């Protein structure tokens, strides 16, 4: 988890963003992070139909297209 946070910090700095890591109590799995990303997408009106959704364990955080913020 700490190595992942280091990698995310590097990516954020390169993009002028701020990393706000989740409290260690919630770092058991990615559920809290997935829920937060889903909430942000929903707030911005970005909805993916279930039939267009997919799951992969190999999905990389640096491959996510963030379209819900400026």
Give the pLDDT confidence score for residue 55 in this predicted structure: 77
The verdict on residue 62 lying in a domain is no
52 φ/ψ angles, rounded to the nearest 5 degrees: -100, 0
The verdict on residue 61 lying in a domain is no
The verdict on residue 15 lying in a domain is yes
Q: How many domains is the chain partitioned into structurally?
A: 1
66 φ/ψ angles, rounded to the nearest 5 degrees: -90, 110
Average pLDDT score over residue span 35-63: 83
The verdict on residue 51 lying in a domain is no
Give the pLDDT confidence score for residue 6 in this predicted structure: 92
Q: Per residue in 18-35, pLDDT tens?
A: 998 877 776 666 777 778
Look up the domain containing 7 and give its range.
2-46
The verdict on residue 70 lying in a domain is no
The verdict on residue 29 lying in a domain is yes
CA angle 21, 26, 27 (to 5 degrees): 65
């Amino acid at each position: 988890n700490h190595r992942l946070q280091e990698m995310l910090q590097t990516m954020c700095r390169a993009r002028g963003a701020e990393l706000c890591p989740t409290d260690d109590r919630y770092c058991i799995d990615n559920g809290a992070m997935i829920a937060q990303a889903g909430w942000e997408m929903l707030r911005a009106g970005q909805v993916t139909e279930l039939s267009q959704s997919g799951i992969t364990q190999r999905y990389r955080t640096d491959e996510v297209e963030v379209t819900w913020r400026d």
